[in-house]
C-alpha cells in the first residue's frame, strides 16, 4: 500500500505479461529479416563447404520452421486482433508455442555453429555460423527477455553447441588452446542469460511502477473529477495552471471544460472576466484577489458571480518541504485552490440570519435584532443628536383575536407593519421592530435637539391608527404608545424600553384618556412618578427577600352566613408609605420576575393559618400565569401542604379568567395536575376574560367567581342587574359553585341572593380583608357566642329594605 493510499502490485500483472508475449508475436518483418539472415549465412556456409548436404538440410529445415512460425504469428494476430487477455493459461500456451518455434530456429543456429566449428573452426562457414550464434544471443537479450524460460532455452541452444563444437575440435585434434577457447564460449551463454535477467528486472520494475502510476493517476483523476469541489493547482515558478477540474471551470463560469491547463494564471483571470463580462476595473479587482490568494496574502475569499452565485476560494500552499505525508520532498511548489459554489449554503445562512433577526409575520426586525440596530445607531449618533424610542401596542388586540380569529389578528399585525414601513420609506432615520404579540417599536435616530418629536410621532401614529379592512370588515385600529429619548452619553436601551413601556402603560390605563391621545412622552412629571415606582420596586425586592410580605384574609360566605373559605390577599406595609396597592405591587413583582417568591410566601402563610381554623374553613390563594408556568409549581403546592399538614381539599387556587384565556392550551394540563392533588380550582374575575364559557367544560373547576365589576353598578334599578343575572344564568346548572365578589351594599346583597342561584358571596359588606390573627379571634368569638355554629344570614334577608347585618363591614 502506497502512502497515497493507492494499492499497487509487485508481480507482473497478467495483462502486462500478455503485452510481452504479444511483442514477441507482433513483428513479422523481424522474422522475415531473421530468416533472410539465416538463409544467407547457411548459403555462405553451403557454398564455401563444397555444397555440403548438412547446410542444405539446415536451409530446408529453417524455411520449414520459419513458415510454421509465420503461420503461428498469423494465428496469434487473428486471435488477438486488437484484443487482450488476462487468462494466464492462454498466455502461457502462446509463450510455449513461441518457445518451440524460436527454440527450433536456435537449435538450427546452434547446430550450424557447433558443426561448423567442430569440422573446420577456421573456415568461412564457421565464422559466419559463430557470428549468427552470437548475434542471435544479443537479439535474445534484446527481444526475448520478456520470457525467462525462453531466454534460458534459447541461450543454451545457441551458445552451448558453439562451445561444445570448439571443445570437440580441441579434443579430436589434441589442441588444448581450442579446447580452452571452447570452454570460454560456454560462460557467454550464462552472461546472455543474466544480461537478459537484468534487463527483464529493469523492465519489470518500470512496468510495475508505470502501472502503479497509471493506477494512481486514474484514481487521482477520478477523485479530482468526481469531487464536488472545484480544484485548481498553480505552480509558483511560472504561475502556470497545472491542474484544473471540470467543477472548477464550471464554478468560474467557463463551462465544463478545463481548457486552461498549462496556461498562465492571468489567462484564467482574463477568461473569467470575459465570461462574466467584467469591466477593466472589475478585472483588475479580480486579478488582485487572485494574486492575493496565490501569493498567500489571504487563504479564503468569496466572490459573487454576475449570475448571483457565491463562489468560495480556499487556498493551500504546497512547498517542497511541507509534504510530510510522503516523507520526501515534493517537486510541486505552488498553490492548491479549492473553489466551491456555496450559493445554497449562503442562502441557507441568509435564511437563518433572516429568521434569527426578522419576525416572520410582520417582516420587521425582532426583539434581538432591534437591540443590534439600536447599538449601531447609537455608535453613529453624534454628540448633539438625540434618539427617540417608541413602543406601542394595538388597543383591544386580544378582542380582535378572540372575536374574529387569530388570522384576523395576524392580518392586523401585517397591516400595521406595512404602515410602519411606509413611514420608514419616507424617513431613513426610522428603525422598526416587532417585539412580539402586538408590541411594536418605532425609533427615530439622529434627531436634532430642536426637532419636533411630537410632530414626528403624531404623524407616525396618525398613519398607523387608521381604518383597515380585515377579513372584509372595516376595523378602526387604535394604538397606545410611549416615547422616551436619549442622547449618546446617557444611552441605555433597557432604560429606554422601561421608560417607554411605563408611558405606554400610563397612556393605556389613563381613565381620563382623550380619544385622540395615542401616545405619551416620558416627561419630567412622569419621570418623578417613574422614579418613585423604581424606588418602590427596589423596596419590594428587599421586602420579598426579608419575608416581610404579609397576608390578609377575607371571608367568603354562603347565603346562610356561614363562612366557606377565606381568600388570602397579599399585603405589604412599606416603610413610610403605608400599605401598597396589591395590584400595583403584583405588577411590579411580575416585572421584576419575583412574583413566584411572593406566591410561595403567601401560599405558605395561608396554609399555615388555615390549618389552625375550625369548621373545615378553607383558604384561597391567587396564582398568576407565571406561577402556573413554573416547572416546580406542583411540587411547591405539594411541599406546602405536607409542611402545614393541611388537607388538600381545603386549599383553593384562584386564577383569573384572563390568565387562563391567554394560553388555555398550556394552562389546562397544569390546572388538571393541581386538581389531581385534591386542590380546588377557582376562576377569578369571571366575565372579564371573554369567551371562557366555551372552554369551561375542559377545566377541572370547583368555583367561578364573577368579577366585581358586575356588582359595582347594581342599584335599586332592576335594569342594572341584568348583566350579572345573565352571567349567573349562564353559569348556573354547572357542577361548579358561583361566587359573587365585591358586594358592598345591602342592595347589592339583596340582588345577588335573589333567586338563590349564587352559592357564595364575598365583599366588604360581609367582611374586609383582615389579618390572620383577627380572623382567628372572630372565629373563636362566633363559635363561643353561637354555640359553635355560625349565625345565619338568611334570617335577615331580604325581608326589609335595610336589614341588620350579621357581619358588619370591617369586622366579622
Residues that bind ligand C2E in the complex, under the rule CB under 6 A: 554, 569-570, 582-583, 586, 599, 602, 622, 624, 654, 684-685, 708, 741-744, 762-764, 769
CA 469 to chain centre: 40
Cα 251 from Cα 227, distance rounded (Å) = 13
Q: Which of Mg ion, ligand C2E, none does residue 763 bind to, with CB < 5 to 8 Å depending on kind?
A: ligand C2E
Nearer to Mg ion (CB atom), residue 654 or residue 746 = 654
791-797 own/partner pairs: CB under 8 Å, 24+ apart? 791/561, 792/560, 792/561, 792/562, 793/557, 793/558, 793/559, 793/560, 793/561, 794/559, 794/560, 794/561, 797/559, 797/749, 797/750, 797/753
DSSP class of residue 803 equals P
* HSE, side-chain direction, 13 A CA sphere, residue 394: 28
Binding residues for Mg ion (CB under 5 A): 622, 654, 684-685
In the complex, the smallest distance separating the C-beta of residue 686 from ligand C2E, rounded to whole angstroms, is: 10
Cell of 507: 397612556
What is the three-class DSSP state of 737? strand
In the complex, the smallest distance separating the C-beta of residue 802 from ligand C2E, rounded to whole angstroms, is: 18
In the complex, the smallest distance separating the C-beta of residue 550 from Mg ion, rounded to whole angstroms, is: 17
In the complex, the smallest distance separating the C-beta of residue 502 from ligand C2E, rounded to whole angstroms, is: 20
Q: Which of ligand C2E, Mg ion, none does residue 624 bind to, with CB < 5 to 8 Å depending on kind?
A: ligand C2E
In the complex, the smallest distance separating the C-beta of residue 736 from ligand C2E, rounded to whole angstroms, is: 17
Q: Which of ligand C2E, Mg ion, none does residue 570 bind to, with CB < 5 to 8 Å depending on kind?
A: ligand C2E
Q: Which of ligand C2E, Mg ion, none does residue 59 bind to, with CB < 5 to 8 Å depending on kind?
A: none
Helix axes 524-546, 595-611, angle to 10 degrees: 50
Q: Which of ligand C2E, Mg ion, none does residue 245 bind to, with CB < 5 to 8 Å depending on kind?
A: none
Q: Which of ligand C2E, Mg ion, none does residue 17 bind to, with CB < 5 to 8 Å depending on kind?
A: none
Nearer to Mg ion (CB atom), residue 363 or residue 582 = 582
Residue 110 · residue 157 · CB < 8 Å: yes
Residue with cell 533472410: 36
Q: Which of ligand C2E, Mg ion, none does residue 742 bind to, with CB < 5 to 8 Å depending on kind?
A: ligand C2E
761 beta partners: 557, 740
Nearer to ligand C2E (CB atom), residue 388 or residue 543 = 543
Nearer to ligand C2E (CB atom), residue 503 or residue 752 = 752
Residue with cell 410580605: 549
Nearer to ligand C2E (CB atom), residue 363 or residue 803 = 803
In the complex, the smallest distance separating the C-beta of residue 622 from Mg ion, rounded to whole angstroms, is: 5
3-class secondary structure per residue, 304-319:
ECCCCCEEEEEEEEEC
Q: What are phi and psi of 721, to 5 degrees?
A: -90, -10
In the complex, the smallest distance separating the C-beta of residue 526 from Mg ion, rounded to whole angstroms, is: 29
Nearer to ligand C2E (CB atom), residue 603 or residue 696 = 603
Residue 242 · residue 330 · CB < 8 Å: no
Nearer to ligand C2E (CB atom), residue 100 or residue 592 = 592
Nearer to Mg ion (CB atom), residue 140 or residue 659 = 659
Nearer to Mg ion (CB atom), residue 91 or residue 704 = 704
Minimal CA–CA distance to 758: which of 766, 338, 311? Answer: 766
Nearer to Mg ion (CB atom), residue 438 or residue 685 = 685
In the complex, the smallest distance separating the C-beta of residue 767 from ligand C2E, rounded to whole angstroms, is: 8
Q: Which of Mg ion, ligand C2E, none does residue 554 bind to, with CB < 5 to 8 Å depending on kind?
A: ligand C2E
Q: Which of ligand C2E, Mg ion, none does residue 216 bind to, with CB < 5 to 8 Å depending on kind?
A: none
Cα 71 from Cα 452, distance rounded (Å) = 112
E strand or H helix at 645, and its extent? none
In the complex, the smallest distance separating the C-beta of residue 655 from Mg ion, rounded to whole angstroms, is: 9
Minimal CA–CA distance to 734: which of 701, 708, 686, 762? Answer: 701
Neighbours of 123 (CB within 10 A): 15
Contacts of 573 (CB under 8 A, 6+ apart): 548, 550, 579, 580
Cα 208 from Cα 214, distance rounded (Å) = 10
Q: Which of Mg ion, ligand C2E, none does residue 582 bind to, with CB < 5 to 8 Å depending on kind?
A: ligand C2E
Cell of 43: 548459403
241 beta partners: 234
Cα 714 from Cα 88, distance rounded (Å) = 114
In the complex, the smallest distance separating the C-beta of residue 744 from ligand C2E, rounded to whole angstroms, is: 4
Minimal CA–CA distance to 674: which of 746, 732, 620, 713? Answer: 620
Cα 87 from Cα 95, distance rounded (Å) = 12
In the complex, the smallest distance separating the C-beta of residue 748 from Mg ion, rounded to whole angstroms, is: 15
Nearer to ligand C2E (CB atom), residue 108 or residue 743 = 743
Nearer to Mg ion (CB atom), residue 292 or residue 744 = 744
Work out whether the CA dihedral 68, 74, 79, 84 comes out positive or negative.
positive
Q: Which of ligand C2E, Mg ion, none does residue 586 bind to, with CB < 5 to 8 Å depending on kind?
A: ligand C2E
In the complex, the smallest distance separating the C-beta of residue 450 from ligand C2E, rounded to whole angstroms, is: 45
Q: Which of ligand C2E, Mg ion, none does residue 744 bind to, with CB < 5 to 8 Å depending on kind?
A: ligand C2E
Amino acid at each position: 500500500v502506497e502512502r497515497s493510499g493507492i494499492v499497487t502490485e509487485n508481480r507482473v500483472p497478467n495483462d502486462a505479461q500478455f503485452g510481452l508475449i504479444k511483442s514477441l508475436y507482433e513483428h513479422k518483418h523481424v522474422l522475415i529479416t531473421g530468416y533472410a539472415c539465416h538463409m544467407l549465412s547457411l548459403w555462405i556456409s553451403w557454398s564455401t563447404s563444397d555444397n555440403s548436404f548438412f547446410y542444405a538440410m539446415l536451409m530446408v529445415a529453417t524455411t520449414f520452421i520459419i513458415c510454421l512460425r509465420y503461420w503461428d504469428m498469423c494465428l496469434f494476430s487473428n486471435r488477438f486482433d486488437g484484443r487482450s487477455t488476462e487468462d494466464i493459461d492462454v498466455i502461457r500456451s502462446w509463450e510455449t508455442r513461441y518457445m518451440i518455434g524460436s527454440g527450433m530456429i536456435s537449435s538450427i543456429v546452434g547446430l550450424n555453429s557447433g558443426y561448423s566449428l567442430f569440422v573446420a573452426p577456421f573456415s568461412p562457414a564457421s565464422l559466419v555460423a559463430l557470428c549468427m550464434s552470437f548475434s542471435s544471443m544479443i537479439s535474445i537479450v534484446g527481444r526475448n527477455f520478456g520470457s525467462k524460460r525462453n531466454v534460458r532455452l534459447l541461450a543454451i541452444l545457441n551458445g552451448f553447441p558453439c562451445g561444445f563444437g570448439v571443445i570437440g575440435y580441441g579434443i579430436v585434434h589434441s589442441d588444448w588452446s581450442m579446447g580452452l577457447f571452447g570452454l570460454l564460449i560456454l560462460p557467454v551463454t550464462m552472461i546472455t542469460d543474466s544480461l537478459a535477467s537484468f534487463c527483464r528486472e529493469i523492465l519489470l520494475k518500470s512496468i510495475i511502477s508505470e502501472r502503479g502510476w497509471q493506477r494512481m493517476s486514474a484514481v487521482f483523476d477520478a477523485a479530482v473529477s468526481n469531487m464536488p469541489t472545484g480544484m485548481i493547482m498553480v505552480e509558483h515558478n511560472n504561475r502556470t495552471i497545472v491542474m484544473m477540474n471540470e467543477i472548477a471551470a464550471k464554478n468560474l463560469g467557463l463551462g465544463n471544460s478545463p481548457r486552461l491547463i498549462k496556461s498562465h494564471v492571468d489567462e484564467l483571470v482574463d477568461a473569467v472576466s470575459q465570461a462574466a463580462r467584467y469591466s477593466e476595473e472589475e478585472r483588475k479587482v479580480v486579478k488582485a484577489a487572485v494574486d492575493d490568494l496565490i501569493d498567500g496574502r489571504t487563504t479564503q475569499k468569496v466572490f459573487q458571480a454576475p449570475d448571483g452565485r457565491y463562489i468560495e476560494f480556499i487556498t493551500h500552499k504546497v512547498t517542497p518541504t511541507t509534504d510530510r505525508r510522503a516523507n520526501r520532498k515534493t517537486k510541486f511548489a505552488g498553490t492548491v485552490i479549492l473553489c466551491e459554489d456555496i450559493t445554497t449554503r449562503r442562502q441557507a445562512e441568509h435564511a437563518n440570519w433572516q429568521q434569527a433577526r426578522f419576525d416572520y409575520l410582520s417582516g420587521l426586525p425582532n426583539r434581538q435584532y432591534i437591540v443590534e440596530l439600536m447599538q449601531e445607531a447609537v455608535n453613529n449618533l453624534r454628540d448633539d443628536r438625540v434618539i427617540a424610542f417608541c413602543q406601542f401596542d394595538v388597543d383591544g388586540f386580544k378582542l380582535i383575536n378572540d372575536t374574529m380569529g387569530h388570522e384576523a389578528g395576524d392580518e392586523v399585525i401585517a397591516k400595521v407593519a406595512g404602515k410602519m414601513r411606509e413611514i420608514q420609506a419616507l424617513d431613513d432615520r426610522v428603525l422598526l421592530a416587532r417585539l412580539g404579540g402586538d408590541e411594536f417599536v418605532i425609533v427615530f435616530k439622529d434627531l436634532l435637539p430642536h426637532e419636533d418629536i411630537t410632530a414626528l410621532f403624531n404623524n407616525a401614529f396618525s398613519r398607523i391608527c387608521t381604518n383597515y379592512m380585515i377579513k372584509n370588515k372595516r376595523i378602526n385600529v387604535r394604538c397606545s404608545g410611549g416615547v422616551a429619548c436619549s442622547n449618546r452619553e446617557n444611552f441605555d436601551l433597557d432604560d429606554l424600553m422601561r421608560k417607554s413601556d411605563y408611558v405606554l402603560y400610563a397612556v393605556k390605563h389613563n381613565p381620563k384618556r382623550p380619544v385622540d391621545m395615542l401616545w405619551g412622552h416620558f416627561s419630567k412629571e412622569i419621570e418623578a412618578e417613574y422614579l418613585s415606582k423604581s424606588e418602590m420596586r427596589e423596596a419590594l425586592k428587599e421586602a420579598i427577600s426579608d419575608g416581610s410580605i404579609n397576608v390578609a384574609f377575607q371571608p367568603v360566605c354562603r347565603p346562610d352566613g356561614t363562612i366557606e373559605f377565606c381568600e388570602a390577599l397579599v399585603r405589604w406595609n412599606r416603610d413610610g408609605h403605608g400599605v401598597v396597592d396589591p395590584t400595583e405591587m403584583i405588577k411590579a413583582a411580575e416585572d421584576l420576575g419575583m412574583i413566584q417568591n411572593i406566591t410561595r410566601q403567601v401560599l405558605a402563610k395561608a396554609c399555615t393559618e388555615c390549618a389552625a381554623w375550625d369548621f373545615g374553613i378553607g383558604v384561597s390563594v391567587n396564582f398568576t400565569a407565571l406561577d402556573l408556568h413554573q416547572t416546580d409549581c406542583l411540587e411547591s403546592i405539594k411541599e406546602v401542604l405536607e409542611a402545614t399538614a393541611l388537607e388538600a381539599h381545603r386549599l383553593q387556587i384562584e386564577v383569573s379568567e384572563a390568565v387562563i384565556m391567554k394560553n388555555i392550551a398550556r394552562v389546562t394540563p397544569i390546572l388538571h395536575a393541581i386538581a389531581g392533588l385534591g386542590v380546588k380550582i377557582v376562576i377569578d374575575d369571571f366575565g372579564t376574560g371573554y369567551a371562557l364559557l366555551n372552554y369551561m367544560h375542559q377545566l377541572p373547576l370547583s368555583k367561578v367567581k364573577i368579577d366585581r365589576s358586575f356588582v359595582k353598578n347594581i342599584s335599586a334599578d332592576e335594569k342594572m342587574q341584568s348583566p350579572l343575572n345573565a352571567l349567573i344564568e349562564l353559569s348556573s346548572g354547572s357542577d361548579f359553585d358561583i361566587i359573587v365578589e365585591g358586594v358592598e351594599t345591602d342592595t347589592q346583597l339583596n340582588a345577588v341572593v335573589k333567586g338563590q342561584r349564587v352559592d357564595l358571596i364575598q365583599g366588604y359588606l360581609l367582611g374586609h380583608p383582615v389579618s390572620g390573627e383577627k380572623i382567628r379571634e372572630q372565629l373563636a368569638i362566633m363559635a363561643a357566642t353561637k354555640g359553635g355554629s355560625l349565625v345565619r344570614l338568611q334570617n335577615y334577608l331580604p325581608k326589609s329594605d335595610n336589614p341588620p347585618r350579621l357581619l358588619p363591614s370591617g369586622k366579622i
